[in-house]
């Protein structure tokens, strides 16, 4: 029997989970964005970047969209949307969960983000929340750059693979069968961020969560506001390699 590729394993894993969620009869609403340190980089930086960069008539592509866990701000602020994922079942969950939002200008594409099935320079925004390790870093970078218009922007949030605590955690997930070896090797690091900077020309980076593993449990005691002040202080003053998340805006300018 032919050995399954990591790509096939990941597709099957997410398709299986999506199939279960698709069959759920639970009513769906856009999630209220609660204040907690885990979601703070999404809510306060990534989502705000999506909103700030939205303009009437803009075409946005979300790659590795999964089941739309982080797609709410896109649906709320854009009209011409393409959701792309390697799992058809995941796309079906978005269609089910967001059925009241769907229009003729919202499209779905089952595809591998290493080979995006779109023409050159057709999107104003490409977004990605936590999906960069699911494809060959160089191929994905080039494909994102290719499908973006001149002055188009790539907006992403992902984990940074440099803090040894987080690297150990991801390796434990691999041992438990929750990650494939290729995703471990492709986790974004500052070298990859530099590659995006060189390719795009203008890149804005925010780093977040340097001591999240301490501050998140502490926030249960001292509250969100106080723990967020501490988190912001440490993010500003501690080395960037200690960060849990990075949020990037990469603007495509003429070469």
- What's the pLDDT score for residue 120? 97
Q: Return the closest-CA partner of residue 158 out of 183, 177, 123.
A: 183
Number of folded domains in the chain? 1
Residue 28 belongs to some domain of the structure: no
The answer to whether residue 25 sits within a structural domain is no
- pLDDT by 10-residue block (mean), the chain, 255 residues: 79 83 54 77 96 96 95 95 96 91 94 96 98 96 98 97 91 91 93 96 94 94 96 96 96 82
Rounded CA separation 71/54 (Å): 14
Range of the domain at 131: 6-19+34-252
Task: Let me know if residue 1 belongs to a domain.
Answer: no
CA distance 32 to 72: 10
- What CATH number should be reported for the domain holding residue 217? 3.40.50.150
* pLDDT for residue 32: 54
Which has the closest alpha carbon to 32: 76, 95, 93, 83?
A: 76
Asked if residue 59 is part of any domain, the answer here is yes
Q: Which of 118, 115, 110 is nearest to 86 (CA)?
A: 110
Quote the pTM value: 0.93
What pLDDT does residue 28 have? 45
Tell me whether residue 24 is in a domain.
no
């Amino acid at each position: 029997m032919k050995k399954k590729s990591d790509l096939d394993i990941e597709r099957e894993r997410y398709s299986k989970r999506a199939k279960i969620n698709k069959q759920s009869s639970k009513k769906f609403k856009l999630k209220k964005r609660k204040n907690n340190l885990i979601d703070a980089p999404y809510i306060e930086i990534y989502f705000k970047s999506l909103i700030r960069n939205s303009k009437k008539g803009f075409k946005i592509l979300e790659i590795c969209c999964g089941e739309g866990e982080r797609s709410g701000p896109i649906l709320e602020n854009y009209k011409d949307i393409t959701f792309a994922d390697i799992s058809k079942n995941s796309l079906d969950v978005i269609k089910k969960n967001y059925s009241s939002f769907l229009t003729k200008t919202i499209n779905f594409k089952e595809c591998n983000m290493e080979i995006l099935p779109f023409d050159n320079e057709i999107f104003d925004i490409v977004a990605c929340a936590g999906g960069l390790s699911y494809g060959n870093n160089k191929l994905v970078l080039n494909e994102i750059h290719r499908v973006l218009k001149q002055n188009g922007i790539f907006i992403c949030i992902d984990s940074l693979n440099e803090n040894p605590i987080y690297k150990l955690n991801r390796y434990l997930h691999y041992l438990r069968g929750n990650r494939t070896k290729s995703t471990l090797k492709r986790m974004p690091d500052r070298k990859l961020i530099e590659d995006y900077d060189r390719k795009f020309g203008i890149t804005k980076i925010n780093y977040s969560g340097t001591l999240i593993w301490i501050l998140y449990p502490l926030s249960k005691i001292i509250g969100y506001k106080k723990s967020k002040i501490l988190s912001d202080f440490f993010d500003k003053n501690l080395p960037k390699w200690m960060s849990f998340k990075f949020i990037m805006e990469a603007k495509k300018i003429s070469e």
